[in-house]
Chains A and B, each alone.
Chain A
Amino acid sequence: DAGITQSPRHKVTETGTPVTLRCHQTENHRYMYWYRQDPGHGLRLIHYSYGVKDTDKGEVSDGYSVSRSKTEDFLLTLESATSSQTSVYFCASGLAGGQETQYFGPGTRLLVL
């Protein structure tokens, strides 16, 4: 599974609290991504990174921020969690951006009460 892990795998939190999800890859991939998956919506891109400290917004970035201080780690922060952010979050990484395989992590199931 291309050496990509996510932590935590499950999390329950309360509305208004900050939450940070971590993605770690050991493949030295330049590109990393955060998606959320909800029924009927497929995989929606939240943020992505094209290098250390280089990030950009995806289609559903409101309420989320990211940081990438090392090649192997990409953090997703929900600044103040809301119930609408209850979802399954997948990170992914790849060598060549949109032109090659993206390898997905196992996912984090987040429940915001």
Chain B
Amino acid sequence: GENVEQHPSTLSVQEGDSAVIKCTYSDSASNYFPWYKQELGKRPQLIIDIRSNVGEKKDQRIAVTLNKTAKHFSLHITETQPEDSAVYFCAASPPRDYKLSFGAGTTVTVRA
């Protein structure tokens, strides 16, 4: 089955700086790549997703890039703010699969 690795496991950034989280996947057939954000004590929630027919997608201060050849995708957060402090999970899924395979998560801390 699909295996997703996520790095780094923790990330500390100064407010206003950028944060980048990288994930690699094993199944070249995977075509859906969502990112979830989990604030402390809360449930995970989707923040952005990308499909394999697109190389980049942006939504305000967050963007995701996908490199199918290298089988990796990344989350970019620009102009970080305190409310960006959370755990971020990447995930991947091949077509016709009923489930997502999640990375182990990245704890992002934004320092004031």
* A residues whose Cβ falls under 8 Å from a Cβ of B: 1, 31, 33, 40-45, 48, 50, 56, 58, 90, 97-102, 104-107
Residues of A within 8 A of B89 (CB): 42-43
Q: What is the predominant secondary structure among interface residues of chain A facing chain B?
A: mixed
Give 18 pairs: A residue, B residue, CB < 8 Å, sorted on A.
A40-B104, A42-B89, A42-B102, A42-B104, A42-B105, A43-B102, A43-B105, A44-B102, A45-B102, A48-B98, A90-B43, A97-B93, A98-B99, A101-B34, A101-B46, A102-B100, A106-B42, A107-B43
Tell yes or no: B83 within 8 A of A by CB. no
- Cβ of B31 to closest chain A Cβ, rounded Å: 8
Contact flags (1/0) for B44-76 with A, using CB distance below 8 Å? 111001000000000000000000000000000
6 A-B pairs with the lowest CB-CB distances in the bound complex, closest first: A98-B93, A97-B98, A42-B104, A104-B43, A98-B97, A42-B105
Q: What is the predominant secondary structure among interface residues of chain B facing chain A?
A: loop
